[in-house]
């Protein structure tokens, strides 16, 4: 599906940036959304320097109006929507008994409510078009439990079961939804942990491959699901985790 029009949430850095650049390399027109405009502009410039097409659209996935505008602007600019990559997400580490409601709500509003709001906008367009794909960035932490991460694990578990349910709804009108569940991928989200040698080694001991993944390894799988996977593949979650969820 070259020339596909793709919206990537959280495209200014980390996994989202890498996914956006990978899709653009395959000929997709990429709408870069997120809150930090300077970061999005940097990604756009890199894509354009490589001969690709990208549009910057500031968006906060916690704000329904901002999300509605993102999809309206995408259609205005490119005339259609083919793929949504729900990547924007946050993580915090706090023991459940010490967590306040604001932290819980921030995680769920970003990782789950934001996913719902974006998917609803995209899904209405996919229903009208009779085609379309969404790929959700879940996490291995949605497949297993981890102390200190109850809110994040619960939110990513929700992403995985949302994916199954919506895939079953969308299959009736010819659209697909799948998820990827990354294990540890070296990005800003875990920079603090990696700076602590003891914590880093402890994490590596839990990964059979004994290393973290790269954003490129994940972007390859997302790009396949977005542009090349068969329509019959839907509702699935593919772990890209060096074996972490297999032990």
Residues 161-190 that bind ligand NDP (CB under 6 A): 182, 184-185, 187-190
**Token digits for 173?**
């009108």
Binding segment for ligand NDP (CB under 6 A), chosen from 6-14, 22-30, 123-131, 192-200, is: 6-14
Q: Which is nearer to ligand NDP, 28 or 115 (CB)?
A: 115
User: By CB under 6 A, is residue 115 in contact with ligand NDP?
Assistant: no
Binding segment for ligand NDP (CB under 6 A), chosen from 11-19, 69-77, 124-132, 230-238, is: 11-19
**Token digits for 206?**
């839990």
Closest distance to ligand NDP from the beta carbon of 228 (Å): 21
Q: Which is nearer to ligand NDP, 25 or 194 (CB)?
A: 194
Binding segment for ligand NDP (CB under 6 A), chosen from 49-57, 88-96, 118-126, 194-202, is: 88-96
User: By CB under 6 A, is residue 12 in contact with ligand NDP?
Assistant: yes
Q: Which residues does 72 contact at the CB level (< 8 Å), separation at least 6?
A: none
User: By CB under 6 A, is residue 13 in contact with ligand NDP?
Assistant: yes
Q: Say whether 41 sits in a helix, a strand or coil.
A: helix
Q: Which is nearer to ligand NDP, 110 or 176 (CB)?
A: 110
Return left, alpha or beta for 122; rule: phi > 0 is left, psi -120 to 50 is alpha, else beta: alpha
- List the one residue out of 114, 139, 120 whose CA is nearest residue 213: 139
Distance CA(89)–CA(112), nearest Å, equals 9
Is the separation of the CB atoms in 116 and 133 below 8 Å? no
User: By CB under 6 A, is residue 9 in contact with ligand NDP?
Assistant: yes
User: By CB under 6 A, is residue 22 in contact with ligand NDP?
Assistant: no
Distance CA(5)–CA(23), nearest Å, equals 10
Return left, alpha or beta for 23; rule: phi > 0 is left, psi -120 to 50 is alpha, else beta: alpha
Is the separation of the CB atoms in 167 and 211 below 8 Å? no
- List the one residue out of 18, 7, 102, 98 whose CA is nearest residue 55: 7
User: By CB under 6 A, is residue 35 in contact with ligand NDP?
Assistant: yes
Residues lying near ligand NDP in the complex (CB under 6 A): 9-10, 12-16, 34-36, 39, 59-62, 87-91, 110, 137, 139, 182, 184-185, 187-190
Which residues participate in catalysis according to the annotation?
152
């Amino acid at each position: 599906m070259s020339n596909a029009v793709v919206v990537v949430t959280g495209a200014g850095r980390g996994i989202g940036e890498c996914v956006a650049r990978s899709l653009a390399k395959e000929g997709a027109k990429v709408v870069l959304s997120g809150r930090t405009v300077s970061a999005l502009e940097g990604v756009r410039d890199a894509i354009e320097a490589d001969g690709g097409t990208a549009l910057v659209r500031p968006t906060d996935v916690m704000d329904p109006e901002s999300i509605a505008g993102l999809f309206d602007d995408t259609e205005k600019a490119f005339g259609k929507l083919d793929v949504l990559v729900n990547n924007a997400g946050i993580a915090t580490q706090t023991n459940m008994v010490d967590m306040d409601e604001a932290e819980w709500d921030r995680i769920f509003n970003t990782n789950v409510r934001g996913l719902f709001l974006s998917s609803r906008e995209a899904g209405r367009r996919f229903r009208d078009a009779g085609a379309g794909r969404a790929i959700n960035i879940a996490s291995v932490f949605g497949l297993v439990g981890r102390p200190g991460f109850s809110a994040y694990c619960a939110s990513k578990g929700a992403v995985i079961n949302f994916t199954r349910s919506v895939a079953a709804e969308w299959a009736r009108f010819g659209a697909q939804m799948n998820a990827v569940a990354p294990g540890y991928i070296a990005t800003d989200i875990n920079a603090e942990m990696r700076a602590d040698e003891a914590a880093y080694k402890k994490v590596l001991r839990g990964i059979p491959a004994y290393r973290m993944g790269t954003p490129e390894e994940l972007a390859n799988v997302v790009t396949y699901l977005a542009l090349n996977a068969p329509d019959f593949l839907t509702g699935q979650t593919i772990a890209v985790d060096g074996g972490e969820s297999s032990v």
